[in-house]
Chains A and B, each alone.
Chain A
Amino acid sequence: MTACELLPAQYRPAILEAGKKTAEEIRLRRAQRLSLVIDGREQELGGDKLSERDLMQVLEKATGASLHSVAPAMAKGYISYKGLRIGLCGTAAMNGEQLLGIRGFSSLAIRLPKECRGICAGFADRLMENGFENTLIVSPPGVGKTTLLRELIRVTANKGVRVAVLDERCELYAEGGFDLGRCSDVLSSVPKELGASMLLRGMNPQLIAMDEISREGDIEVIEQIIGCGVALLASAHGRGREDMLSRPMYRKLFEMGIFRNILTIYRNESRRRYVLEKL
């Protein structure tokens, strides 16, 4: 388990044990005990309370003791380590409006990516009835958008569709940690604006998959992809169709008629329900 490498040795057995219980996140907070998020609920583990030094040690391991080299990622609120996303809190060092870095770390949240094969068996074929139809996966944070997206990419790519994966945060492919199917091409650590152009020019994709569209700039990227006649599979934070339509940015996407399907994930304890709506 990659996350274990990051943590001080004394916490590793507890984390390994928790790995069997499908933990979703590891939370480290200064002056608190290590805790795990399992089925959406946070559970505190035993052991000593964490110090800022412990948090720093995790970050040194994750960055090769080079926080300055991940400053651009820190400005987005997280850093990546072998496909893990590590969210950060602390005191920001600013220069005007530019974030130079974070000091005095107070919290870290390590997201644990998962591979859940078979979760899209019930609806994957419906998305591909007339070629792949543009689909938006929607759910609140931490419910499983990325996991579902990863599985859909794998299934689609294994059916012979050339899927170009725009893995901005290195979470989908996790530096080779996940199987994304035989016809997938992965471009990692590139902003969507740049990555979409690169993939369209160089990889002749039939479908482009990307995680978490959230900014106005992403709409231009989507328009560019659709304009080239390439299908799109993306995910976004939200609670369902109505919620998305109430937000101007997403309403614009739906008014443009870009997405043909909305795939919403609902969670009840540890169970997930997937609802596909044709638009």
Chain B
Amino acid sequence: MLRLLGALLIAGASLAIGLSYIAGEARKLNDLRSFVLLLKEMCGELGVRASPLPELLELLGRRCGGCGGSFAASLHSRMNELGEKEFSQLWNECLTVFSRYLESEEREQLQTLGLCLGRYELDRQLSELEICINFLDRRIAGYSSLLPEKRRMGLGLACSLGALLLIVLI
């Protein structure tokens, strides 16, 4: 009986690993979409109004949902630390919190953007924003096309592993 229970637990754990992998992939995609939405809104507001960043971040924190919106709100709440810390440093610290599911290349691209925002003339900031948006859009397209396949593969591997363990243990 105990053997059967142990085997079921192991099979369940395998399934959970598979599901968690799939959830992580989906979360990454959602977070990327949220960041892209944030950057597009930022691009629009900067292009039209040339808003100061504190005002812009406050607006985007309210307007954008998901981790992009939370990132903007968090960054806005820390703008009073300017003078003690550079804007790019605050940007990176907030990014570390809200980009856990992103790949290092995506995070690096966002970090590069943080080095330019608010520091250079508007045209250059807009062009950096566009570069970043295009890069993240490409990544989203890639992940989106692979997600169903990854979902099947994750579930398949988890089920196979669970079944294998069950066979071996029972």
Q: Which of B51-59, B133-141, B151-159 is the contact stretch?
A: B51-59
- A119 → chain B, closest Cβ, in Å? 33
Q: Which of B1-9, B28-36, B92-100, B116-124 contacts A (4 or more CB under 8 A)?
A: B116-124
Can you name the residue of chain B whose Cβ is closest to the Cβ of A103?
Answer: B120
**Interface contact A101-B121, CB-CB below 8 Å:** yes
Nearest A residue (CB) for B91 = A65
Closest B-chain residue to A9, C-beta based?
B84
- A108-150 near B? 1/0 per residue, CB < 8 Å: 0000000000000000000000000000000000000000000
Q: For the complex formed, measure the closest distance between the CB of A12 and the CB atoms of chain B, giving whole angstroms.
A: 10
Q: Mark interface residues in A50-74 (1 if CB within 8 Å of B CB, else 0).
A: 0001001110110111111101000
Q: Which of A6, A53, A66, A95 contacts B83 (CB 8 A)?
A: A6
Residues in chain B near residue A60, CB distance under 8 A = 82-83, 86-87, 118-119
Contact between B46 and A68 (Cβ–Cβ < 8 Å)?
yes
Q: Is A93 an interface residue (CB 8 A)?
A: yes
Name the one of A5, A7, A63, A67 contacting B120, with C-beta atoms under 8 angstroms. Answer: A67
Q: Is the CB of A56 within 8 A of B119?
A: yes
Q: CA A61 – CA B54 in complex, angstroms?
A: 11
| With contact pairs A53-B86, A56-B86 given, residues A64 and B121 touching in the complex (Cβ less than 8 Å) | no
Q: CB-defined interface of A1-38 with B at 8 Å, one 1/0 digit per residue?
A: 00001111100000000000000000000000000000
Which chain B residues numbered 10 to 63 have a C-beta less than 8 Å away from chain A? 46, 50-54
From A57, A64, A68, A101, B86 is in contact (CB under 8 Å) with: A57
Inter-subunit contact B123/A65 (CB<8 Å): no
**A258 within 8 Å of B (CB atoms):** no
A89 close to B (CB within 8 Å): no
Does A219 sit at the interface, judged by CB under 8 A? no
Does A199 sit within 8 A of B, measured CB to CB? no
Looking at the assembled complex, report how far the CB atom of B76 sits from the nearest CB atom of chain A, in whole angstroms: 10
Minimal Cβ-Cβ distance residue in A for B119: A67
B54, B79, B125: the one contacting A68 at CB < 8 Å is B125
**Cβ of B52 to closest chain A Cβ, rounded Å:** 4
A100 within 8 A of B: yes
The number of chain A residues with a CB under 8 A from chain B is 24
Task: Decide if B82 touches A100 in the complex (CB within 8 Å).
Answer: no
Q: How far, in angstroms, from A62 to B62 measured CA to CA in the complex?
A: 25
Considering the chains assembled together, what is the distance between the CA atoms of A186 and B112 in angstroms? 43
Complex Cα spacing A7 to B86, Å? 12
Q: Which residues of B (63-85) have their CB < 8 Å from a CB of A?
A: 79, 82-84
Assuming the contacts A56-B86, A60-B83, A60-B86, asked whether A100 and B53 have C-beta atoms less than 8 A apart, the reply is no
Contact pattern, B 103-135, Cβ under 8 Å of A = 1, otherwise 0: 000000000000001111111110000000000
Taking a contact as CB atoms under 8 Å apart, the answer to whether A68 and B118 are in contact is yes
**CB-based contact B121/A65 at 8 Å:** no
Complex Cα distance A64/B117, Å? 11
**Which residue in chain B gives the minimum CB-CB distance to A70?**
B52
Binding site for B on A (CB under 8 A): 5-9, 53, 56-58, 60-61, 63-69, 71, 93, 95, 100-101, 103
List the 6 closest pairs (A to B, CB-CB), nearest first. Answer: A61-B83, A101-B121, A66-B52, A65-B87, A65-B118, A100-B121
17 contacts between A and B (CB under 8 A): A5-B83, A8-B83, A57-B86, A61-B83, A64-B53, A64-B79, A64-B82, A64-B118, A65-B87, A66-B52, A66-B54, A67-B118, A68-B118, A69-B50, A93-B121, A93-B124, A100-B121
